[in-house]
């Protein structure tokens, strides 16, 4: 119904300034023949993805495990080399910046990592870990640094005394919040949040989501919010992108996507969400996606979803559907009405 | 029927720079063979520490100060390290919360699963390899033959978590401790893993201690639920009772803050106001009183016991004793009406 709307209308109402433009981006991991018995090829973890993140918005990124969400997040902030395509940040093409050229942008693009333990230095006290970037980048003076660290800890619901402790002394969810505090200490413009609340219970999850929303308002932050918790994605996102096997298959305003998913994959994904009610245990629709996730090293021809799609036709096996360019974008030959 | 696992008045402390801190206080529960018991509660409330204590994996700085844990009538608190190791290899296995910390970074994942199997089943290399690949397939890893040769860093977060699940399940344990087993998984695979654990349970009579904050998973799997707050169990009941008529104000808050699919996007989630107390500054009286909308003078002064209020339903709240729990429900209704 929005089919005729021009590309420009895809910009959210709040701000029209693009912060990050991702153009036809691909990230491949080599399959080394020494390791894998078959001939060497590559895993196309992200394959020809285009997406613009506008200042002050949150784009939710969902999709099955292994579809390339973390890889996309890591590539756009240059933690993973791009195979092809372009990344523009604040107008500058940073795709091939040298590490030195990247330094100023690095601080402005931060990531909350999926594996909090692996991303914290086990031998450093939390307080020192948070203070370091503040001092190195002169975001706080020696005199104020302690207060700033306490403030950051407070933001994520940890007591100031946490600063004196080491990562292993915290619970999983506490470590996840330390990761959030650390990312925030750089005062970024763009924050890639990779499963930032997955290890948190609903109540603290709600606090963190509210915090992210407040910070966004205050500092005009832009988020790429990766999560499989659909409830959280729905709450925080302006738009939602659905990924399947390295590609974006649907992109729409949040309300619209949940109300009226158009890609068959999105529909199945939303249906699989377990209702928080034991009485519905047996009635729960068994719409588990059938079939194996195909190999990203050797994706199916035509539409990548055709091997599992209940609506697939002959055309789907041959011709690859492209993501449309309207506000509710979908990559499917027979989108749901 | 005898209990498989019994935890009685457990108290756990950690030694640190600032002296000793108690992270689990007076925790008691039991699990029957074949049963699924869930522990839920806010981040830092002591869920993982309780599970690690059962495994005998509290580390050098942690210790059980009081109480005991018995498994198949063996007192684990008095068991030797050797006995514990034997038990971990064959009768109890654990899915750890953070996969990267428990996978070996320099060993292909297929090998890691084989080793777990060979540790207690004297199977040949070849059989073990086949079982490992079958198990990878069961946990939903595509192309298991190829992935078996990959190292942990080459897998996505959710794939690592499933490898851990494969390691834990392949030994067919009597008790499976699953600490946030599905946090890194999307709903489709989550459903598959839940189904797999339930199959295992039906086939081998495995009991499951499920540690999670995901009430959707609890609703789908658990028979019995214990809710923890600040190191203590504050409510325990069968899953239907707990979801239908939670009695502890904290449990009620937890139920209310479930993010809902029908909520408006951009809206705010109803968080329980305030923060979990730090272990060093535990409030007097009921540990939840600073955040409780119904707290009275007695709540601030006296610590409530976990009181039996019905068939295996236990609540740690003064209001329950004076049978004002129904009043809470009334309060809650009016509050919701006001909010509307
Ligand atoms: N360093 C690496 N070497 C080889 N392959 C990799 C590497 N990192 C990721 N991959 C592969 O790339 C694909 C995408 O991985 P990615 O971590 O981006 O998935 P994801 O969508 O974040 O999944 P999850 O929800 O499980 O975290 C997977 O098939 C994974 O095995
Ligand atoms: N090795 C340790 N040394 C000191 N304190 C610890 C240690 N491990 C855990 N703690 C503390 O014990 C408390 C309980 O931790 P636990 O890991 O059991 O929490 P949890 O309920 O599993 O939380 P989460 O949902 O965040 O994983 C926390 O306050 C934590 O800081
Ligand atoms: S293009 Fe065809 S196979 Fe792909 S999702 Fe649409 S209907 Fe299904
Ligand atoms: Mg990931
Ligand atoms: Mg934990």
Whole-structure pTM value:
0.84
Q: Which of B44, B146, B240 sits opposite A171 (nearest CB)?
A: B44
Give the CATH number, domain containing residue A52.
Answer: 3.40.50.300
A115 interfaces chain B, CB cutoff of 8 Å = yes
- The β-bridge relationship of strands B232-238 and B313-315 is antiparallel
Q: Which of A117, A201, A294 sits opposite B101 (nearest CB)?
A: A117
Percent of chain A with pLDDT over 70: 87
How confident is the model over A307-316, as a mean pLDDT?
94
Quick: pLDDT tens for A135-185: 988 888 989 999 999 999 988 888 898 999 999 888 888 888 899 999 998
- Confidence band of B331 (pLDDT split at 50, 70, 90): very low
CB-based contacts of A103, cutoff 8 Å, min separation 6: none
Cα B280 to Cα A144, A215, B50, B73, distances in angstroms: 25, 29, 19, 35
| Nearest-neighbour CA in chain A from B154: distance (Å) | 9
Residues A233 and A271 in one domain: yes
Residue spans of the domains in chain B: they are: 102-171, 244-339
Residues A312 and A224 in one domain: yes
Of A139, A172, A187, which closes a domain?
A187
Over 70: is that where the pLDDT of A9 sits? no
Q: What's the pLDDT at A219?
A: 82
- Confidence band of A51 (pLDDT split at 50, 70, 90): very high
Q: What's the pLDDT at A197?
A: 84
Q: Which 146-165 residues of chain B touch chain A by CB within 8 A?
A: 146, 149-150, 154-159, 162
Over 70: is that where the pLDDT of B247 sits? yes
CB contact under 8 A, A277 and B142: no
Q: Minimal Cα distance from A258: which residue of B?
A: B261
Quick: pLDDT tens for B168-195: 999 889 999 999 888 777 777 777 788 8
Residues A94 and A219 in one domain: yes
CB-based contacts of B119, cutoff 8 Å, min separation 6: B89, B171
Residues A225 and A320 in one domain: yes
How confident is the model over B22-42, as a mean pLDDT?
94
Strand partners, B236: B226, B314
Q: Which of A64, A70, A278 sits opposite B219 (nearest CB)?
A: A278
Over 80: is that where the pLDDT of B257 sits? no
| Nearest-neighbour CA in chain B from A277: distance (Å) | 5
- Tell me the ligand closest to B213's alpha carbon: 2
| Nearest-neighbour CA in chain B from A285: distance (Å) | 11
How many Å lie between the centroid of ligand 5 and the Cα of residue A98? 39
Residues A226 and A126 in one domain: no
Q: How far apart are CA A269 and CA A257, in angstroms?
A: 12
Q: Which one is predicted more confidently, B216 or B55? A: B55
Residues A78 and A220 in one domain: yes
CB-based contacts of B289, cutoff 8 Å, min separation 6: B283, B295, B299, B300
Residues A19 and A167 in one domain: no
Tell whether A335 is covered by a domain.
Answer: no
Quick: pLDDT tens for B91-115: 999 998 887 778 898 999 999 999 8
| Nearest-neighbour CA in chain A from B28: distance (Å) | 21
A306 interfaces chain B, CB cutoff of 8 Å = no
Which three-class secondary structure string do you get for A281-292?
A: CCCCCCCCCCCC
Q: What's the pLDDT at A7?
A: 39
Of A187, A207, A233, which closes a domain?
A187
CB contact under 8 A, B269 and A213: no
Over 50: is that where the pLDDT of B339 sits? no
Q: What are phi and psi of B49, to 5 degrees?
A: -60, -40
Of A167, A187, A207, which closes a domain?
A187
Q: What's the pLDDT at B220?
A: 87
How many Å lie between the centroid of ligand 1 and the Cα of residue A71? 6
Tell whether A2 is covered by a domain.
Answer: no
Q: What's the pLDDT at B337?
A: 36
User: Looking at the 3D structure of chain A, how many domains does it have?
Assistant: 2
Q: What is the DSSP secondary structure assignment for residue B181, as one 8-state letter?
A: T
Alpha helices in chain B (DSSP H): 47-55, 81-90, 99-102, 109-120, 125-138, 144-147, 157-170, 187-204, 215-221, 239-244, 249-256, 297-301, 318-321, 325-339
Q: What's the pLDDT at B262?
A: 55
B215 interfaces chain A, CB cutoff of 8 Å = yes
Query: CA triplet A301, A26, B108: central angle to 5 degrees?
Result: 85
Residues A135 and A199 in one domain: no
Quick: pLDDT tens for A196-230: 887 777 777 888 888 899 889 888 899 999 998 78
* Structural domain of A136: 117-187
Tell whether A157 is covered by a domain.
Answer: yes
Query: What residues of chain B lie within 8 A of the CB of A195, using their CB?
Result: 157, 183-184
Residues A175 and A198 in one domain: no
Residues A89 and A18 in one domain: yes
How confident is the model over A86-100, as a mean pLDDT?
95
Q: What is the maximum alpha-carbon separation in chain A?
A: 69
Residues A104 and A222 in one domain: yes
Quick: pLDDT tens for B48-97: 999 999 999 998 899 999 999 999 989 999 899 899 988 887 899 999 88
Tell whether A1 is covered by a domain.
Answer: no
How confident is the model over A284-296, as a mean pLDDT?
63
CB-based contacts of A88, cutoff 8 Å, min separation 6: A18, A20, A21, A23, A94
Q: State whether the beta carbon of B310 lies less than 6 angstroms from ligand 1.
A: no
- For chain B, give the mean pLDDT: 85
How confident is the model over A290-316, as a mean pLDDT?
88
Contact B30, B7 (CB under 8 A): yes
How confident is the model over B305-310, as a mean pLDDT?
87
- Confidence band of A11 (pLDDT split at 50, 70, 90): very low
Residues A25 and A52 in one domain: yes
């Amino acid at each position: 119904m929005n089919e005729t709307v021009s590309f420009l209308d895809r910009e959210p109402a709040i701000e029209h300034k693009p912060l990050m433009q991702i153009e036809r981006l691909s990230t491949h991991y080599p399959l080394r023949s020494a390791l894998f018995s078959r001939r060497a090829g590559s895993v196309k973890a992200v394959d020809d993805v285009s997406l613009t993140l506008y200042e002050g918005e949150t784009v939710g990124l969902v999709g099955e495990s292994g579809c390339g969400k973390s890889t996309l997040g890591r590539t756009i902030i240059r933690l993973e080399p791009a195979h092809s395509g372009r990344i523009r940040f604040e107008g500058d093409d940073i795709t091939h910046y040298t590490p030195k050229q990247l330094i100023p942008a690095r601080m402005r693009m931060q990531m909350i990592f999926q594996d909090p333990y692996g991303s914290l230095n086990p031998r450093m006290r939390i307080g020192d870990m948070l203070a370091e970037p503040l001092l190195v980048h002169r975001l706080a003076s020696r005199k104020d640094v302690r207060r700033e660290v306490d403030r950051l800890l407070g933001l994520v619901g940890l007591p100031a005394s946490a600063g004196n402790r080491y990562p292993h002394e915290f619970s999983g969810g506490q470590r996840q919040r330390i990761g959030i505090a650390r990312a925030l200490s750089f005062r970024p413009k763009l924050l890639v949040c990779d499963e930032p609340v997955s290890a948190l219970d609903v109540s603290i999850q709600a606090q963190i989501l509210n915090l992210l929303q407040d910070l966004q308002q205050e500092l005009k932050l832009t988020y790429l919010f990766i999560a499989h918790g659909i409830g959280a994605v729905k709450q925080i996102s302006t738009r939602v992108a659905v990924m399947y096997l390295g590609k974006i298959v649907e992109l729409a305003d949040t309300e619209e996507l949940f109300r009226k998913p158009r890609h068959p994959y999105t529909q199945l994904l939303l249906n699989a969400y377990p209702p928080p009610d034991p009485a519905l245990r047996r009635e729960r629709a068994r719409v588990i996606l059938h079939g194996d996730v195909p190999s990203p090293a050797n994706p199916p021809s035509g539409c990548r979803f055709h091997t599992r799609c209940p609506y697939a036709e002959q055309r789907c096996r041959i011709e690859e559907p492209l993501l449309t360019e309207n506000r509710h974008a979908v990559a499917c030959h027979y989108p749901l009405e | 029927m005898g209990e498989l696992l019994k935890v009685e008045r457990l108290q756990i402390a950690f030694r640190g720079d600032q002296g000793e801190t108690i992270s689990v206080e007076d925790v008691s529960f039991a699990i029957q063979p074949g049963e699924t018991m869930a522990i839920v509660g806010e981040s830092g409330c002591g869920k993982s520490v309780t599970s690690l204590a059962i495994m005998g994996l509290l580390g050098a700085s942690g210790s059980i100060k009081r109480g005991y844990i018995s498994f198949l009538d063996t007192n684990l608190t008095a068991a030797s390290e050797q006995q514990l190791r034997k038990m971990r290899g064959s009768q109890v296995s654990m899915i750890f919360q953070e996969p990267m910390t428990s996978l070996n970074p320099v060993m292909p994942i297929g090998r890691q699963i084989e080793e777990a199997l060979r540790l207690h089943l004297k199977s040949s290399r070849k059989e073990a390899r086949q079982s490992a690949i079958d198990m990878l397939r069961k946990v939903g890893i595509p192309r298991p033959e190829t992935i078996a040769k990959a190292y942990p860093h080459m897998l996505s977060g959710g794939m690592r978590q499933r490898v851990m699940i494969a390691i834990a399940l392949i030994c067919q344990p009597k008790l499976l401790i699953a600490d946030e087993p599905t946090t890194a998984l999307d709903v489709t695979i989550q459903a598959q893993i839940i189904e797999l654990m339930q199959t295992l349970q039906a086939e081998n009579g495995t009991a499951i201690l499920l540690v999670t904050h995901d009430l959707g998973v609890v609703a789908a799997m658990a028979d019995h639920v214990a809710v923890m707050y600040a190191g203590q169990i504050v409510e325990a009941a069968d899953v239907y009772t707990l979801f239908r008529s939670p009695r502890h104000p904290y449990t009620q808050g937890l139920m209310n803050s479930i993010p809902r699919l029908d909520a408006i996007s951009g809206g705010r989630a109803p968080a329980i106001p305030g923060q979990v107390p730090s272990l060093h500054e535990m409030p007097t009286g009921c540990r939840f009183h600073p955040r409780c909308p119904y707290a009275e003078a007695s709540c601030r002064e006296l610590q409530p016991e976990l009181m039996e209020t019905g068939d295996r339903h236990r609540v740690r709240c003064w209001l329950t004793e004076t049978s004002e729990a129904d009043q809470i429900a009334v309060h809650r209704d009016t509050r919701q009406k006001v909010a509307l």
